[in-house]
């Protein structure tokens, strides 16, 4: 299984990023969590700076609004993931264009639905 980076990880169980964290772990996908305002979520380390990631990232799944994503575009692209999933409400045309130019698949979809339908 390849690493999944959750951008916008949350401690709040009602948040979709929290649900995605749980569902990805249940499906045995190794995950990394990113939120500059958190240090841990239920004992899991949360990364505050994308430039510190040394691991190969297969998928980045987005749970932050397009405006909050602006400063993260270049750090995400530097990770060279295979794909980026823009969950509903996180779509960013600038990121989509730059990802395509970098040869990174950019998908506008719901991670939870993809997991439920075995399309992840």
Could you give the CA distance from residue 73 to residue 45 in angstroms, rounded to a whole number?
22
Residue-wise pLDDT tens digits, 50-82: 999 999 999 999 999 988 999 999 999 999 999
Strand order in the sheet with 59-62: 40-41, 44-47, 31-34, 4-7, 59-62, 83-86, 105-108
Question: Structural domains in the chain?
Answer: 4-116 (3.40.50.720)
Could you give the CA distance from residue 95 to residue 59 in angstroms, rounded to a whole number?
14
pLDDT higher than 90, residue 1? no
Considering the entire predicted model, what is its pTM?
0.96
Residue 4: HSE in the Cβ half-sphere, 13 Å Cα cutoff: 23
Residue-wise pLDDT tens digits, 97-110: 999 999 999 999 99
CA 54 to chain centroid: 16
């Amino acid at each position: 299984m390849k690493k999944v980076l959750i951008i916008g990880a949350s401690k709040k169980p009602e948040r979709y990023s929290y649900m995605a964290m749980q569902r990805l772990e249940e499906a045995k996908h190794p995950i990394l969590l990113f939120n500059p305002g958190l240090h841990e979520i239920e004992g899991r380390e949360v990364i505050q700076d994308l430039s510190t990631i040394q691991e190969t990232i297969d998928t980045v799944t987005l749970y932050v609004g397009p405006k909050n994503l602006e400063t993260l575009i270049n750090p995400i692209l530097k990770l060279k993931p295979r794909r980026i999933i823009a969950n509903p409400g996180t779509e960013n045309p600038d990121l989509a264009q730059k990802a395509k130019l970098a040869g990174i698949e950019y998908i506008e979809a719901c991670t939870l639905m993809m997991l439920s339908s075995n399309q992840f």
